[in-house]
């Protein structure tokens, strides 16, 4: 592991409507893994976690080096796409992960969250308040958030969430390309932090 690392959280909608996109997402994850490993200067600096959500979020894979990056499971029977529960869940996961890294004296960049969905949130009234907890300026570990919309994704909602950048598959952008561009941009424009301060 490098002396400074970027924790990257790939957060994927795995509700039933995503069945047509799972192969595309897994191809994108493989492209992402391959591209990072092809660049020796960043291979040891990126750790990745995979989170799935539908009605409730769950960790598919904890924060590991990219060569251990898993694939997404097939969507379950849940029809709901609840955005709200994902955000406090992510905040808790990020806190736990960053604390563990800091105990090993690793300098940690502000995390990157890559949020993918193809649908409309089924909790349109409540998710914005939940999202604000993830991006609270007073929280030093608040992540940069990139969104990626597949199919008929709610562009307005994704634009509100993707404060760092929003990509849309219907514009011809590939998942792997967007992931690679986001990670490389963060690593090339942010300095590794000193002590407990996240860049």
pLDDT of residue 190: 77
pLDDT of residue 196: 45
Instruction: Give 2 or 64, the one with higher predicted confidence.
Output: 64
Task: Parse the chain into domains and list their residue ranges.
Answer: 4-189
pLDDT of residue 195: 44
Residue 192 makes CB contacts below 8 A (sequence gap 6+) with 3, 4, 107, 109, 199
pLDDT in tens, 33-65: 888 888 877 888 999 999 999 888 999 999 998
- Mean pLDDT for 163-175 is 92
CATH of domain 4-189: 3.40.50.410
pLDDT in tens, 92-108: 999 999 999 999 888 99
């Amino acid at each position: 592991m490098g002396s400074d690392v970027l924790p990257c959280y790939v957060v994927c909608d795995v509700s039933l409507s995503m069945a047509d996109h799972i192969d595309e997402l897994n191809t994108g994850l493989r492209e992402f893994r391959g591209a990072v490993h092809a660049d020796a200067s960043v291979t040891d600096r990126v750790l990745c976690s995979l989170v799935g959500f539908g009605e409730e979020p769950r960790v598919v894979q904890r924060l590991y080096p990219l060569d251990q990056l898993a694939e997404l499971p097939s969507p379950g029977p849940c029809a709901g796409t609840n955005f709200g529960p994902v955000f406090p869940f992510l905040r808790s996961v990020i806190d736990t992960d960053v604390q563990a890294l800091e105990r090993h004296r690793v300098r940690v960049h502000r995390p990157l969250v890559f949020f993918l969905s193809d649908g409309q949130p089924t909790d349109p009234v409540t998710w914005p308040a939940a999202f604000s907890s993830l991006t609270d300026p007073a929280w030093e570990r608040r992540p940069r958030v990139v969104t990626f919309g597949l199919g008929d994704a709610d562009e307005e909602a994704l634009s509100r969430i993707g404060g760092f950048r929003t990509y849309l598959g219907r514009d011809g952008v590939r998942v792997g390309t967007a992931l690679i561009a986001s990670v490389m941009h963060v690593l090339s424009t942010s300095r590794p932090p000193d002590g407990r301060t996240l860049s």
